[in-house]
Amino acid sequence: MFLRSQRFYDAIYAWKDYQGDATKLHALIQERNPGARTLLDVACGTGKHLELLKPRYEVEGVDVDPEMVRIARERVPGVPIHEGNMVEFDLGRKFDVVTCLFSSIGYTGSVGRLDRAVASMSRHTAPGGVLIVEPWVTPETFEPGRPSASFVDEPDLKIARMDVPRVEGRFSVIDFHYLVATPEGIEHFTEHHEVVLFTHQEYLDAFRKANLDVEHDPEGLMGRGLYIGIRRG
């Protein structure tokens, strides 16, 4: 997965409207749980969502990648950022809101692990609380064979990242090729990503098995949709 690109993650995804995400999430949460005070972001990455949600909630984060955890801790000092796998983490407490955004759920690896991940997040959601998961694309909407490229053009950082995705069984397979120029020189490396193409029904089933009443917002934050669960008592 992420092997060497963590330090470039924010530059590569500078196009993403994190502020817009935070505004939409807050409105969604207020509609369903207006008294919410605490929020956990699962697979929090570099902590951008946490930074923007912190003024409105008491936030914490968890991520499996030690380097992402380090970057997030630097971004939001004083905010607890835990190292843990979304499939089996246990923080020993519950939150009014739990989020898992930007399609991180697709990295769980199988339907069974999807169920376990949603169950873990549900266990951390207080009764009446909200679980929000932003999915990866479905088998019907994935487009293999279409070349993709992202570019960064900053004074001391130039990046070209390219890939041609493919399908292998239930997985969308993406080999990112990075060409990175900094004042120290130019480097090339690749990262191999395997993201499960879960179906709409598999997401719904995972939520229902985890004691959650679930609804689906087909648009979501950026067109990939959202699954929104309310934790039953």
pLDDT in tens, 68-93: 999 999 999 999 999 999 999 999 99
The model scores a pTM over 0.85: yes
pLDDT in tens, 107-142: 999 999 999 999 999 999 999 999 999 999 999 999
Question: Based on the domain organization, do 63 and 123 belong to the same domain?
Answer: yes
Question: Based on the domain organization, do 155 and 53 belong to the same domain?
Answer: no
pLDDT exceeds 90 at position 1: no
Question: Based on the domain organization, do 191 and 206 belong to the same domain?
Answer: no
Please answer whether residues 156 and 182 qualify as being in contact, where contact means their C-beta atoms are separated by less than 8 angstroms: yes
44 alpha-carbon distance from chain centroid: 6
Q: H helices of 43-160, where?
A: 48-53, 66-75, 111-123
Question: Based on the domain organization, do 91 and 43 belong to the same domain?
Answer: yes
Count structural domains, the chain.
Answer: 2
Question: Based on the domain organization, do 21 and 63 belong to the same domain?
Answer: yes
Please answer whether residues 210 and 118 qualify as being in contact, where contact means their C-beta atoms are separated by less than 8 angstroms: yes
Range of the domain at 80: 6-138+198-231
CA angle centred on 14, ends 107 and 29, rounded to 5° = 65
Question: Based on the domain organization, do 52 and 165 belong to the same domain?
Answer: no
pLDDT in tens, 6-27: 999 999 999 999 999 999 999 9
pLDDT in tens, 164-215: 999 999 999 999 999 999 999 999 999 999 999 999 999 999 999 999 999 9
Assign residue 181 the CATH number of its domain. 2.20.130.10
